[in-house]
Structures are given as structure tokens and as C-alpha cells.
Amino acid sequence: MSFFGDLFGGADQAAKDQISGITAGLNQATQSIGQGSNALTSNYTAGLQPFLQNFATAGQGATQLGNVLGLNGPAGSQAALQTLQATPGFQFQLGQGNNAINAAAAANGTLGSGNQMLALANYDQGLASTTYNNYVNQLQPYLGMSSSAASGIGGMYGGLGNSLNADDINLANLQYGAQTSIGNANANAALSDQSLGLGLLGGALNLGMSSIPSNSLFGGLGKMLTFSDERLKEDIEPVGELYDGQKVYSYNYRGDPTPRIGLMAQEVEQRYPDAVREVGGFKAVDYGKATDMASELARFLEAA
């Protein structure tokens, strides 16, 4: 870890780890939901096929019924007539019946008479009517079959739509929760870093803030030691000064946009040399020593 990771990077790294876990979980959940949606679509598609087949078959039957009822125009009526004439046994029954009538007329001497013609017409009309009614009765179930198939198709599509919509809602909720958690993790890390920086100067500025935790930041180099080398900072702006005249600056470390507040090691070294240490070639400030005089002055002025 870098020098600044030891100071301020703990919360940042924890946030990164948390965000990494959230992102990994979201990716896995997204993948699982996607796989589930694909499987669901495949299952519904397979289940839909019988309804589509029944609907197609019912559609053909309904068209034939429309033809025979005269609902589909002259072309439909002509097609129905051809179908009726091609009904199995129709031509045979027609021939047999006509032959019987003709034979009877020849036997009784009425061949070619009006009675023979009337008998032939009545027989042919009766046979045609019977064939027509039988054909219509055969086609009637296709109407119910068509309605049932259409209802089944609608139900399948409705079920698929509801299931996919539920998947989308679940995914949206997961994404919302993940983004909220990521935002909270970043915010908590920023607040933690800000609290650490402000805590270092809390006593000296008499702001009523608590100092940093008592554990050492650099393992024995001092419990209030932090890098304050001007070479490590950028966007430096003076924001005030301590009771002993030391200037306080706002800044951020190079490569880290997080705003911070503190002293400048080079200036502290001129006034309190024993408060500055060299760590890795950079100057670090023992804020306990650097702000001791300012704290004494603050207490004196408050007591006055």
C-alpha cells in the first residue's frame, strides 16, 4: 500500500472491496436472470406450438365452413361445391339412386315422363341436402377449436409477458440496490477520510472535534503523524491559521481528488523542527507536537 494508503486509504480500499463485491454479485444475478429468461422463453415457445398448430388447423376448417355457408364470395362457394361433389360416396350414391329411378320408370312405362324427372330431382336434392348438412356438422367444431386455440395462445403469451416483466422488475431492483450501495460505500469512505483529516487539527483549531484514534498511523512513529510534504500536495489554498500563527491549508494529494485540510510540513519544520520526520524521503508531521503551542494558546485565551 502507498504512504497515503496507510493514512487515508483504509476506508477507500474497504469501499473498493465492497463495491467489487456488489458489482460481482450484480453481474452474477444479471447473468442468472438472463439465463432464466431465456429458458423461460424457450419453454413457453415449446408449449405454444400445439396451440399454434391447432389454430392453423381450426383456421382451415373455419375457412371451409365460411365457403359452404356462402360467406367467402363466389370463389368460396365454388370451392365448397367442388368439395361437396368430391365427398366420398356421393357420386356412387347419386349414380345408384338415379339408376334405380330410371329402371323403375322403364319397368312401368313412365321412362322420360314428368314423374321420372320429378323423382330424379327429388332424390338428387335430398342427397345433396344430406351431404351438405353432414359437411356443415363436420366443420362446426372448428369454430370452438379456433376460439380455444386463440385463448390458449393468448394465455401463453400473457404468461410469458408477465414472467419476463417480473424478471425485468427484479433486475431493475437489483441494479437500483447495487447503485445505492455503491454510492453509500463511496460516501462513507469520503466521510471517513474527511473525518480523519479534520480530526488531526480539531484540538489545535479549537473546533471541539475529537482527534484521530490512538493507534499509531505509522507503527510507532507517533500517533498523530501524517504526510504533509508540500511536494505531495496540489490545489493548495490557505483557509486560516492556528493560534500560534501557523497557516492551515486545504489541499488534496496528487492523484487523489479527495479534499483535505492540514499544515504544510516545510513551514512546520521552520518553527518546530522536532515535529517533522522524514519517512521514505518525504516530510511527515507529528500533529501532536506541531499543534501543542497552538493548543496551549487556545486554552489560555479561553481561560482569560
Q: Tell me what pLDDT residue 48 has.
A: 66
Cα(250)–Cα(239) distance, integer angstroms: 6
Please give the average per-residue pLDDT across 237-251, as a whole number.
92
For residue 270 the three cell numbers come to: 521552520
pLDDT in tens, 201-237: 443 343 333 333 333 333 333 345 788 999 999 999 9
Of the candidates 286, 281, 297, which has an alpha carbon nearest to the alpha carbon of residue 263?
286
Please give the average per-residue pLDDT across 8-18, as a whole number.
68
Query: Does the CA dihedral 15-188-249-8 come out positive or negative?
Result: negative
Three-state DSSP class for residue 143: helix
Task: Tell me how far CA of residue 72 lies from CA of 30, 66, 225, in angstroms.
Answer: 52, 6, 96
pLDDT in tens, 106-164: 888 878 788 888 888 888 788 878 887 887 777 777 666 666 767 777 777 777 778 77
Three-state DSSP class for residue 286: strand
Q: Are 227 and 282 in contact (CB under 8 A)?
A: yes
pLDDT in tens, 40-72: 778 777 776 776 676 667 667 667 767 767 777
pTM of the model: 0.37
Residue spans per domain, the chain: 1-192, 213-303
Q: Which long-range CB contacts under 8 A does 267-276 form with residues at least 24 apart?
A: 268/228, 271/244, 271/246
